[in-house]
């Protein structure tokens, strides 16, 4: 039961933030440079950007360390999900993979 909650949260963590990313990019000519500049517009957004960057790095190290032991190679898919979508998708996706019996 909990395993499916992780998958549902991973889907929500992919769709919900992506709505805002796509809306922002559509309104700004699909220029990723403008989006990256917005991440550093003030101390609040800069702090959030660094918070999520550090969380993504820690999650990546955790995934790699556990995959080396558990040999659950499919769980590596959570790394690109983390960096291409966000921690809100990558973390529950990894927990979904991790909760699968090996």
Average the pLDDT over 74-82 and give the result: 97
Quote the CA–CA distance of 97 and 92 in Å, as a whole number: 9
Decide if pLDDT at 102 tops 90: no
Quote the CA–CA distance of 94 and 71 in Å, as a whole number: 13
Domain boundaries, the chain: 2-98
pLDDT of residue 69: 95
List C-alpha distances in Å: 49 to 1, 22, 41, 77: 33, 18, 11, 22
Residues 9-67 have pLDDT tens digits of: 999 999 999 999 999 999 999 998 999 999 999 999 999 999 999 999 999 999 999 99
For 28-99, where are the alpha helices, taking DSSP H only?
Answer: 32-39, 43-70, 78-84, 87-98
pLDDT of residue 100: 85
Decide if pLDDT at 82 tops 90: yes
């Amino acid at each position: 039961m909990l395993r499916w909650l992780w998958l549902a949260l991973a889907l929500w963590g992919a769709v919900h933030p992506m709505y805002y990313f796509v809306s922002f990019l559509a309104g700004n000519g699909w220029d990723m440079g403008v989006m990256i500049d917005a991440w550093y517009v003030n101390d609040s957004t800069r702090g959030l950007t660094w918070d999520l960057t550090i969380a993504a790095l820690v999650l990546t190290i955790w995934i790699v360390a556990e995959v080396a032991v558990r040999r659950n190679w499919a769980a590596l898919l959570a790394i690109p999900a983390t960096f291409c979508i966000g921690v809100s998708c990558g973390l529950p996706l990894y927990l979904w993979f991790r909760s699968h019996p090996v």
